[in-house]
């Protein structure tokens, strides 16, 4: 009895599939609506730098990963064999309405519960996904947007930009559209992101667009970020966002110079801190020397001197340079914080400085911090110094 029921179900599914196949001349949207209730899947070409396992996760380029919620996956070892293959979209339909549009990349794997619509031309898939992104809400819209980012060029960025600008949409959906613009193959979304970053009456959107530009290695994106940073007509919040976006692994020498040059033109503590932190993240010999100079410069605001002192470690300062930063610290509070920096560095110069601080006439709280930091080390020199401090 159970076997017969399963057989009839398979026949019914086959009849529905046949009906959909006979309607191949109809648009993809109509073919999906004709399903009524159920699942369908179809495939198209994926962008050249996309790969995945075909069923759980995929990757775009070298740094953008996506995985289905609840499916365990790892980026360790052979488990991440990333195979190129088509883009497969599995669509869930309820009463003719699309509720899900899950994307998979890699070896083509069929879902036995879904009607197979076969191969669909890329431009038609792009048009359908963009229309779904505009008309749907919540997860459905975000899945459609994610699918758009997996398509090969050309993909029109204007449609995603319209979703990003729509203040009636949830911010998660708008943010997904902005992120997808940064990922479009061939940098096709960069011009739209630059325009979004210039919108003066929507600070949130401008901030999101500037952040997305920072994730792109496209030369136009880096030039625009430097231009925003240097433009004193822009709000300091936008310039601070540009600084943060520049201070990442994609930074160049031009970016580092732009960050250092922008500091004198900023007045807000938060904006200055963004510049200093971004420059320190980029690092380099010139940036380290710049931070040392700022730390010693009594003409600088106290907040700038403090941050320059504490960010030397992030900029890759040597033990000797950290000692110099400690000596230039403008107050007891900053010197106390530098104790932890010296302890993390742990070089010979840092250890010797901690011993000297512990033996010095510094404030008692600073000396106690130095002694506590020395207790982390087990070298003979440190043990001897601690023993001497313990003796009356």
Interacting residues of 313 by C-beta distance below 8 A, sequence separation 6+: 322, 341, 344, 345
Distance CA 137, CA 221 (A): 29
Identify each DSSP E strand in the chain by its residue range. Answer: 38-44, 50-52, 57-60, 64-67, 87-94, 97-105, 114-119
- Residue 321: enclosing H or E segment and its boundaries? helix 319-328
Question: Scanning the structure block, which residue is given the tokens 């669909």?
Answer: 120
Mean pLDDT by 10 residues, the chain (392 residues): 38 41 62 92 94 91 73 49 92 93 92 92 94 93 95 90 94 95 92 91 91 93 96 93 94 95 93 96 94 94 94 93 92 91 92 89 85 84 74 59
| Domain extent listing, the chain | 10-65+81-150, 189-282, 283-392
Residue for token pair 């730390």: 295
Q: Are 197 and 224 in contact (CB under 8 A)?
A: yes
Q: What pLDDT score was predicted for residue 260?
A: 96
- The whole-number pLDDT of residue 20 equals 42
- With a threshold of 0.85, does the pTM exceed it? no
Burial 145-180 (b: 16+ CB within 10 A, else e): bbbbbbbbeebebebbbebbbeeebeeebbbbbbbb
Closest residue by Cα to residue 126 from 161, 89, 83, 100: 89
Strand order through the sheet with 64-67: 50-52, 57-60, 64-67
Please tell me the distance from the alpha carbon of residue 89 to that of residue 44, in angstroms, as a whole number: 8
pLDDT at 137: 92
The pLDDT score that the predictor gives to residue 392 is 56
Asked if 115 and 24 count as a contact pair (C-beta separation under 8 A), the reply is no
Quote the pLDDT of residue 315: 94
Separation CA 99–CA 261 (nearest Å): 50
- Please state, in angstroms and rounded to a whole number, the distance separating the CA atoms of residues 134 and 142: 10
pLDDT at 381: 74
């Amino acid at each position: 009895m159970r076997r017969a029921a399963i057989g009839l179900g398979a026949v019914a599914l086959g009849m529905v599939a046949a009906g959909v196949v006979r309607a191949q001349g109809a648009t993809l949207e109509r073919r999906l609506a004709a399903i009524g209730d159920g699942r369908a899947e179809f495939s198209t070409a994926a962008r050249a730098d996309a790969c995945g396992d075909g069923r759980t996760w995929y990757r775009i380029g070298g740094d953008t990963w996506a995985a289905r919620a609840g499916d365990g996956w790892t980026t360790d070892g052979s488990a991440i064999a990333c195979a190129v293959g088509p883009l497969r979209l599995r669509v869930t339909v309820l009463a003719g309405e699309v509720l899900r549009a899950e994307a998979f990349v890699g070896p083509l794997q069929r879902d036995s519960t879904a009607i197979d619509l076969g191969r669909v031309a890329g431009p038609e898939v792009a048009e359908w996904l963009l229309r779904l992104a505009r008309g749907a809400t919540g997860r459905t819209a975000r899945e459609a947007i994610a699918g758009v980012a997996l398509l090969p060029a050309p993909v029109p960025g204007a449609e995603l930009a319209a979703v990003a600008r729509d203040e009636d949409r949830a911010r998660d959906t708008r943010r997904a559209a902005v992120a997808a613009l940064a990922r479009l193959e061939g940098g096709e979304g960069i011009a739209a992101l630059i325009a979004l970053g210039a919108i003066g009456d929507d600070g949130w959107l401008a901030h999101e667009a500037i952040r997305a530009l920072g994730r792109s290695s496209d030369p136009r994106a880096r030039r625009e970020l430097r231009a925003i940073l240097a433009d004193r007509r822009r709000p300091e919040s936008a310039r601070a966002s540009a600084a943060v976006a520049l201070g990442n692994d994609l930074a160049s020498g031009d970016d580092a110079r732009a960050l250092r040059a922008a500091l004198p033109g900023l007045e807000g503590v938060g904006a200055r801190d963004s510049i200093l932190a971004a420059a320190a993240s980029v690092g380099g010999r010139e940036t380290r020397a710049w931070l040392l100079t700022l730390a010693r410069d009594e003409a600088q605001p106290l907040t700038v001197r403090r941050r320059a002192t504490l960010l030397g470690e992030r900029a890759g300062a040597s033990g000797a340079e950290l000692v110099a930063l400690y000596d230039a610290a403008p107050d007891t509070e900053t010197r106390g914080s530098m104790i932890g920096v010296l302890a993390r560095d742990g070089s010979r110069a840092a250890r010797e400085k901690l011993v000297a601080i512990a033996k010095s006439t510094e404030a008692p709280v600073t000396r106690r911090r130095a002694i506590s930091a020395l207790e982390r080390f087990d070298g003979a020199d440190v043990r001897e110094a601690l023993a001497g401090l313990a003796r009356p």
